[in-house]
Amino acid sequence: MVTEVSAVVERIYGDVLRRNPGETEFHQAVREVLDSLAVVLERHREYTEMKTIERICEPERQVIFRVPWQDDRGVVWINRGFRVEFNSALGPYKGGLRFHPSVNLGIVKFLGFEQVFKNALTGMPIGGGKGGSDFDPKGRSDAEVMRFCQSFMTELYRHLGEYTDVPAGDIGVGSREIGFLFGQYKRITNRYESGVLTGKGLGWGGAQVRTEATGYGAAFFAQAMMEVAGESFEGKRATVSGSGNVAVYGIEKVHQLGGTAVACSDSTGYVVDDKGIDLEVLKQVKEIERGRISAYADRVPSAHYVEGGSIWDVPCDVAVPSATQNELDADAAATLARNRCRYVVEGANMPTTPEAVRIFREAGVGFAPGKAANAGGVATSALEMQQNASRDRWTFEHSEARLEEIMRGIHTRCHRTAEEYGAPGDLVLGANVAGFLEVADAVHAHGLI
């Protein structure tokens, strides 16, 4: 039986490789989930017979489109836009848009695939999808970003709707971009359809805590992991890579929970501040000035900046990779383990390479996969949709309490599922199996579609 199911898993993976050539990040994300599913196939024959995994690995729809726009000097640019509507078994497609020069179909598919399981784990009625463009907003004026967003939405709008597909932000897409996208959607459709996008501004349908939610959620998840071991953030040092929304608000919550975040980074290097990262300065540099992280060290005497290098060289108890995929490799994992790091909590999507995950497992380092630990962002997006649907507005306190409850719920579910399926403490297996079962049951109920 065991060899039979592993043959099924290998056949499915072989097909994914063959049918999606060159999409390395997508292959990686699928492999990681498939590695957890043999135990499920042993208990549920129907998933093999009904090709449930194959159906979940195949997006329901993939849209690729041209995005022409003109910069401030009048130069014409042609970018590529993507929206991969991966799975709608649990609700409308839901997932962010990423604007970054590295974006290609394989990256959007890996993100969409992860999103399906992540969204299932939140327990909210949302399916999974992802989109974006290889447009680089860095160094572009507000007017250029607006023209790009308007052109992007001029194609994308026909695929969206509050009951169909609901994008939000991801890397390179924040409330400024969501504003431009929403404005264009409203103008084309002549509908004030608040629930068609999340991450909106607070004055026009946005939800409290949405900006903070991914970072806060990752810290809440880490806290839940520590509680199982009878520990807390008190006295712990954390390093948080990145300096976008996830990192900034991850650091804020680590501090509120009694820990000290001592380092953060951007694509140029990292800063270390043993006194704890000063959030006011960090927000000024990154959110308001959109500058480089080195400016933090210029302003804070207790900090120093390291050009290039790896933030994972900084000794810590808790590592929160919150920048981008595959940023934490085997060397970094070995260094963290050697420096006695105890917890690794993924704030970004798939920031840890498979080899690094293996090293953490062997070293007994507690590891939380992004699809569980960073689900706070999309969960709060679902709360935004809920408020939009009922024309309601919740307080910050109420929204944050809901977020904490959801994150604790996800942790409990992953923890229990890992135990139930014979892998106690393995939150990767717990997240993959729990997420899969939720989606698979709904896929089944809807018949062969």
With tokens 């909210």, the residue in question is 124
Is 168 among the residues that bind ligand GLU (CB under 6 A)? yes
Q: How far is the CB of 370 from ligand GLU (least distance, A)?
A: 8
Other Cβ atoms within 10 Å of 292 Cβ, number: 17
Listed residue (110, 99, 168, 109) closest to 134, CA to CA: 99
Q: Which is nearer to ligand GLU, 52 or 374 (CB)?
A: 374
Number of H helices, E strands in the chain: 17, 12
| Residues 84-113 as x/- pattern, contact with ligand GLU by CB under 6 A | ----------xxx-----------------
Q: How far is the CB of 365 from ligand GLU (least distance, A)?
A: 23
Q: How far apart are CA 190 and CA 193, in angstroms?
A: 9
| Residue 42 contacts residue 2 (beta carbons within 8 Å) | yes
Q: Which is nearer to ligand GLU, 94 or 200 (CB)?
A: 94
Listed residue (115, 35, 107) closest to 372, CA to CA: 115
- Please give the distance of CA 345 from its chain centroid, rounded to a whole number: 12
Q: Which is nearer to ligand GLU, 48 or 325 (CB)?
A: 325
> Considering only 274-282, 289-297, 374-382, 435-443, which stretch makes contact with ligand GLU by CB under 6 A?
374-382
Is 349 among the residues that bind ligand GLU (CB under 6 A)? yes
Is 304 strand, coil or helix? strand
Please list, in sequence order, all residues whose beta carbon lies within 8 angstroms of the beta carbon of residue 253, skipping any fewer than 6 positions away: 212, 215, 216, 218, 219, 220
Please list, in sequence order, all residues whose beta carbon lies within 8 angstroms of the beta carbon of residue 340, skipping any fewer than 6 positions away: 315, 317
Q: How far is the CB of 192 from ligand GLU (least distance, A)?
A: 20
Is 127 among the residues that bind ligand GLU (CB under 6 A)? no
Is 195 among the residues that bind ligand GLU (CB under 6 A)? no
> Considering only 29-37, 66-74, 145-153, 375-383, which stretch makes contact with ligand GLU by CB under 6 A?
375-383
Residues 25-38 as b/e (b if ≥16 CB within 10 A, e otherwise) read: bbbbbbebbbebbb
Active-site residue (options: 130, 200, 253, 286):
130
Please list, in sequence order, all residues whose beta carbon lies within 8 angstroms of the beta carbon of residue 49, skipping any fewer than 6 positions away: none
| Residues 376-415 as x/- pattern, contact with ligand GLU by CB under 6 A | -xx--x----------------------------------
Q: How far is the CB of 419 from ligand GLU (least distance, A)?
A: 26
Is 79 strand, coil or helix? strand
Is 351 among the residues that bind ligand GLU (CB under 6 A)? no
Which residue's CB comes closest to ligand GLU? 96
130 is catalytic: yes
| Residues that are catalytic | 130
Residue numbers of the site for ligand GLU (CB under 6 A)?
94-96, 168, 170, 198, 349, 377-378, 381
